Amino acid sequence: MARLGCFSTRYPLPAARYFPAMSAPEDLNINRIAQLARIALTPEEKEKFSAQLGDVLANIEKLKRVNVDGVEPTAHAFPIYNVWADDVAKPGLSVEDALRNAPDKRENMIVVPKVVE
């Protein structure tokens, strides 16, 4: 049985033959999936989500048939350009101005209550 990521490719193509709309593969263990997700499902939700997950797996099988020869991997559909302004150092607040409204200060630092024991 071949594997792609965490998805089994046990069923040969076409996937729609095995996973028609509103059905789930026989070996799909929705109870185990719910346990891993730490969610409690009603019987109606199990039936509904099994069918939906079956549809997702069927679409993954369809995507496996797409010829991607010569297509470079990409993270975005369009080129991404840096739109940030240049990082230029500018003078900031003086120590006196930064500490002016501090409730408690010591050695040019703001004193805060201890939060880690």
Instruction: Check residue 85 and give its pLDDT.
Output: 83
Instruction: Check residue 24 and give its pLDDT.
Output: 55
Q: Among residues 52, 53, 39, which one has the least CA distance to residue 7?
A: 53
Amino acid (one-letter) located at 50: S
User: Under 8 Å CB-to-CB from 50, ≥6 apart: which residues?
Assistant: 24, 28, 30
Residue at 24 is within a domain: yes
Instruction: Check residue 1 and give its pLDDT.
Output: 39
Residue at 43 is within a domain: yes
What's the mean per-residue pLDDT of the chain? 80
51 lies in which domain range? 3-64
Instruction: Check residue 18 and give its pLDDT.
Output: 45
DSSP state letters, 28-52 = --HHHHHHHHT----HHHHHHHHHH
Residue at 37 is within a domain: yes
Residue at 69 is within a domain: no
The whole-number average pLDDT for the span 90-114 is 93
What are the structure tokens assigned to 78, written together?
């369009």
Question: Coil, strand, or helix at residue 96?
Answer: helix
Domain count within the chain: 1
Taking only the tens place, the pLDDT of each residue in 13-54 is 444 444 444 455 677 899 999 999 999 999 999 999 999 998
